C-alpha cells in the first residue's frame, strides 16, 4: 500500500491517566475532521477495520483505539475498567485533537463516550454516534454477552474453535472464511491455547453498577448541544424500544438509524449499511 493512500494505517500510542498506554491505528491526514472509534467489551480495534477504511476514504482522519485492557493497550494494575476510568482515557485522547471531531462508540465504548460528553466539555467535539447501546440496555441481552465472555476463559485449541464459538453466539452472522480477523482478537495463553485479547478482570465489572453510574451522570448534567445518532441492529437483544424511548428523553433530537439483519455487533454484521448510515450523519454534522 502506498504511503499516500488515504486508508494507510499507522500505529500510535496515547497515554491515559496513571500512565496507561493506549494503542491505536490512525488513518487519514492530520488536521482533517477526526473520528474516534471505540470498540465494545471483549473486542479490539480490529473490529473497526472496515469502518476505518471507509471513513478515511471519505476524507476523515480516524483514530481507532484499543480500550484499556483490550488488544494492545495496557491493562489496569488495579483492575479498574469502570465507565469513569474508560471515559478519562477517552478524554486524554480527545485532548490531543485540535480539529473538529466526532466519537463513535459501540456497546461498552458507547457508554464511555456518552459518559465522557457529560463530565467534560470539549470545544472541538461536534457529534456523537452510539452503536447499539442505550442508557438502559436490555438485561437479557447484557447477560447473554457476559455469559459468552465467561464461557470461554480457558481459551481455544484453534482459531476455528473460536470462530465456531462466535457463530454459536450469533448464528445469523455470515462466517468469514478467512481466520485472520478472528486471530487478531486472540493471543497465545500460558497453556498453549488461544485466549481472548483482553484482561479477564474486565468481567469483574457489574453491568448494573455501570448503568447506574451512567444514569446518574445523565440525570445530573445538562445535555450538551451535540448531534447524536443511535445505530441500532434490528436483531439486537441489547437495545429495545423502551431503551430508545428513554434515551430520547435524555438526548433531545436523538436520531436513530435501524440496520436490518444486524445484531448487537452491527459493524461486523452489516458493515456496508453501517458505514453508509454513519457517513450520512457525519457529512451533515462534521463535513470531511
> Is the residue at 182 inside a domain?
no
> Is the residue at 93 inside a domain?
yes
36 is in which domain, residue-wise?
9-138+213-285
pLDDT, residue 238, reads 96
- Residue 7, pLDDT > 50, answer yes
Assign residue 116 the CATH number of its domain. 3.40.50.1820
> Is the residue at 28 inside a domain?
yes
pLDDT, residue 194, reads 96
pLDDT, residue 190, reads 84
Among the residue ranges 5-14, 21-30, 63-72, 143-152, the one predicted with the least confidence is 5-14
> Is the residue at 187 inside a domain?
no
> Is the residue at 229 inside a domain?
yes
Instruction: Provide the pLDDT confidence category of residue 6 given band limits of 50, 70 and 90.
Output: confident
> Is the residue at 207 inside a domain?
no
> Is the residue at 145 inside a domain?
no
Per-residue model confidence as pLDDT tens digits over 105-142:
999 999 999 999 999 988 899 999 999 999 999 999 99
Domain count, the chain: 1
Per-residue model confidence as pLDDT tens digits over 16-43:
999 999 999 999 998 999 999 999 999 9
Residue 8, by phi and psi: left (phi above 0), alpha (psi -120 to 50) or beta? beta
Per-residue model confidence as pLDDT tens digits over 173-228:
766 656 787 888 899 998 889 999 999 999 998 888 999 999 999 999 988 899 99
- Residue 3, pLDDT > 50, answer no
> Is the residue at 2 inside a domain?
no
pLDDT, residue 89, reads 97
Per-residue model confidence as pLDDT tens digits over 41-100:
999 999 999 999 999 999 999 999 999 999 999 999 999 999 999 999 999 999 999 999
Amino acid at each position: 500500500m502506498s504511503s499516500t493512500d488515504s486508508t494507510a494505517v499507522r500505529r500510535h500510542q496515547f497515554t491515559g491517566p496513571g500512565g496507561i498506554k493506549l494503542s491505536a491505528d490512525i488513518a487519514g491526514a492530520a488536521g482533517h475532521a477526526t473520528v474516534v472509534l471505540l470498540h465494545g467489551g471483549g473486542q479490539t480495534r480490529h473490529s473497526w477495520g472496515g469502518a476505518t477504511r471507509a471513513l478515511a476514504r471519505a476524507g476523515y482522519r480516524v483514530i481507532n483505539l484499543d480500550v484499556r485492557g483490550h488488544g494492545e493497550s495496557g491493562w489496569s494494575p488495579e483492575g479498574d475498567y469502570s465507565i469513569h476510568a474508560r471515559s478519562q482515557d477517552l478524554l486524554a485522547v480527545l485532548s490531543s485533537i485540535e480539529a473538529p471531531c466526532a466519537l463513535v462508540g459501540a456497546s461498552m465504548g458507547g457508554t464511555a463516550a456518552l459518559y465522557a460528553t457529560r463530565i467534560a466539555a470539549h470545544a472541538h467535539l461536534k457529534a456523537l454516534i452510539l452503536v447499539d447501546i442505550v442508557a438502559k440496555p436490555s438485561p437479557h441481552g447484557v447477560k447473554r454477552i457476559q455469559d459468552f465472555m465467561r464461557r470461554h476463559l480457558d481459551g481455544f485449541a484453534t482459531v476455528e474453535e473460536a470462530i465456531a464459538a462466535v457463530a454459536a453466539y450469533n448464528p445469523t452472522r455470515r462466517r468469514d472464511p478467512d481466520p485472520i480477523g478472528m486471530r487478531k482478537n486472540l493471543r497465545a495463553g500460558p497453556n498453549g491455547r488461544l485466549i481472548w485479547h483482553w484482561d479477564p478482570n474486565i468481567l469483574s465489572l457489574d453491568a448494573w453498577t455501570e448503568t447506574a453510574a451512567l444514569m446518574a451522570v445523565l440525570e445530573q448534567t445538562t445535555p450538551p448541544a451535540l448531534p447524536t445518532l443511535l445505530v441500532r441492529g434490528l436483531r439486537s437483544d441489547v437495545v429495545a424500544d423502551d431503551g430508545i424511548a428513554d434515551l430520547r428523553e435524555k438526548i433531545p433530537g436523538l436520531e436513530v438509524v435501524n440496520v436490518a439483519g444486524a445484531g448487537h455487533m452491527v459493524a461486523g454484521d452489516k458493515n456496508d449499511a453501517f458505514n453508509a448510515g454513519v457517513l450520512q450523519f457525519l457529512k451533515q454534522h462534521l463535513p470531511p
